[in-house]
Amino acid sequence: MDIVITAVLGVLALYLFGGLKVLREYERAVYFFLGRSWGAKGPGLIYVPPLFAKTQTVSLRVVALDIPPQDVITRDNISIKVNAVLYMLVRDPVKAVIGVENYLYATSQLAQTTLRSVLGETEMDELLMNREKINAILKNIIDKRTEEWGVEVSAVEVKDVDLPPEMKRAMARQAEAERERRAKIINAEGEFQAAAKLSEAADVISQNPVTIQLRYLQTLLEIGGEQNSTVVFPLPIDLVGPLLDAVKDRAGGAGGSPAGEPGGPDGPAPESKRALTK
């Protein structure tokens, strides 16, 4: 009799200790007793009666769910491949277990279809330039759909956009043309500013004629410092004008012949002319 009691007590002890479970801080156990949900338990030590109750453990940590590359045709009819990453966590363990069969798989499929539908209504330039806006749209749409599953989507990030080779070449040519345009604009602005400064300097110099002579002397010093073999230095016309007029007057006075001299208007005819007259 004692052996039977001991055996019964041993079986009862095994039964009681067999239902003990320890849950970590980030884990919750959805408790089912005779098939009915009794909420979530944990963390710490919980008791689950064997044969009568079962639990399903759910992690409350943030999960990074990789969305595989999707073939997308954008609004401007460009075929691309886009992949993304989704960050999610379980807010209600009971809904995550009862509301959907596999919340990870369901969220992944929902993210793939949403990614294709949203990018299909977006132009290529907007996808490349306003990626943060598109990420926010994806996050809001997926989060609303997964709320009834007890899942919260914290962020959706588009990772890579795989463009066709011809599109890459066209974008490279466009970028090069844009750089050339900016370089020409900057060069033109620099020339315009330099011309404006030269015009201001000319106005200052024109107010005092001595200033331009000082500028000539400074230019001579600069040229002399460079050790050039030939120097062509312009002189102002107001300095050399009187000298040129004096040279012209002297040349005009020396070029005329006096009256009565041979070859003059009243002089005798040359010998050759008199011989011809005889």
Has this prediction a pTM greater than 0.75? no
How is domain 63-163 classified at the architecture level of CATH? 2-Layer Sandwich (3.30)
pLDDT number for residue 220: 67
Mean pLDDT value across residues 265-274: 44
pLDDT > 70 fraction of the chain, expressed in percent and rounded: 79
pLDDT number for residue 147: 92
Q: Which of 96, 89, 91, 105 is nearest to 30 (CA)?
A: 96
Structure tokens, 27: 């884990």
pLDDT number for residue 278: 36
Domain boundaries, the chain: 2-59, 63-163, 169-221
User: Which phi and psi angles does 53 have, rounded to 5°?
Assistant: -135, 155
Structure tokens, 139: 């996050």
Structure tokens, 226: 């460079």
Distance CA 115, CA 113 (A): 5
